[in-house]
Amino acid sequence: MFTIITGAQFGDEGKGKIVDMIAKDYDIVARFQGGNNAGHMVKVGDDIYKLHLIPSGILLNARVLIGPGVTLNPEVLAEEIMMLKKHGIEVDARKLGIDAKTSIIMPYHIEMEGLREAFREQKIGTTKRGVGYAYIDKVARDEIRMAELIDSKRFLTRLKELAPQKEREIAGMGGDPKIVMDSTLIERYIELGRQFTTYITDVSMEINEALNEGKHVMSEAAQGTHLDVIHGTQKFVTSYSTIAGSACANLGVGPTRVDNVIAIVKAYITRVGEGPLPTELTGKLGEKYRKLGTNSEQLPAGAGDAGGLIYLS
C-alpha cells in the first residue's frame, strides 16, 4: 500500500502529528521534497521533537527515508540525529536511509538566498535557509549531491568546478565570495560526508521493492498545496511542488501504485512568511489564536509559526 500525505492549505496543518499517529501501520515513511525550511513538531508525553528533515515516523518502528527530491543541509541533519539520540532514539543506517541523488544545501546557497531576499522590494518571506537556491542548482544541473558529499575527492572536484560561478554571483549581489571556498566550512562538510556514508541508499528501488513485497509505504510532504511552485499563490510560494502527485515523481514511484492520498486541513488558515490572505486577523486576538492553535512559542521560526499572524477563513 502506498499512501501520500500532504497539506491542503499553506502548510502547518499538522501533518507531522498525523504521520506520527498512523506510522505504526507503515513499514516505511519517506520524505519526498523540501528541506529544513519545513518543520514538524511532535509531542510525546513531556518530550517535544522538532524535526526538519527526518520524517516523523522516526519515533516509531518504521524505516524512514529521505528521497532524492529533498534538499538536505547536512549540518541540520546531524543536529537532528544528535537531538534524537539525547532522547534515547538511535538513528543508525538500519533506521534512516538517504538517497545518493539528494541535493546538498551548501553555505553559499544560504548566503545567496539571504542576499536575494534583501534585494527584493516586495519580500516573499523566504526562510533564508538556502532551499530555493539549492533547487535552482538542481534545475541548472549545478547541484552537489549526497553521492559527492560522502566522497571527499569527488566533493572537492565538484566544488572547485562550481566555485568561480558562485563567487561571481555572490560578489555581484554585494556579498562576500570567500564563503564559497572557506576552508573551515569545507572541512566540516567533508566530516559530515564521512558521518553519513553508511546511510546511503536507492530510495526509489527500496520503496518499489517494498511495495512489491506487499509492505506499506507512506510519503510525507513539506508545506501545503497553496505553496506549490506551479499551482500555488505565485510569487508567494515555495521552491518546489507540494501537491500529492509530486510524491511519485520525487520518489520514483509510478502513479498507478498510489492507493491513498490524505490531504490535511485545519479549522483556520495560517501562513508562514509573506503573501496575501484577505481574512488576516492581527493584534492581540490574532496572537492568542496563533499560540493556542500552533503552540508556536515552542517552535523555531519557519516551522509551525504563523509569523505572528493568524488567518481565519
* Cβ–Cβ < 8 Å for 2, 217: yes
Confirm whether 259 is a catalytic residue.
no
Confirm whether 137 is a catalytic residue.
no
Contacts of residue 308, defined as CB under 8 A and 6 or more positions apart, other chains included, come to 286, 287, 290
Query: Using CA atoms, how far apart are residues 185 and 146, in angstroms rounded to an integer?
Result: 16
Vertex 232, ends 134 and 140: CA angle to 5°? 25
Q: Which of 20, 27, 40, 52 is catalytic?
A: 40
Which residues, listed in sequence order, are joined to residue 28 by a DSSP beta bridge?
A: 63, 217
User: What b/e sequence results for 123-148 when a residue is b if at least 16 CB atoms lie within 10 Å of its CB, and e otherwise?
Assistant: ebebbbbbbbbbbbbbeeeebbbbbb
Instruction: Find out whether the peptide bond into 235 is cis, omega within 30 degrees of 0.
Output: yes
Instruction: Count Cβ atoms within 10 A of the Cβ of residue 46 and give its class: 0-12 exposed, 13-18 middle, 19 or more buried.
Output: exposed
* Cβ–Cβ < 8 Å for 29, 207: no
Catalytic (active-site) positions: 12, 40
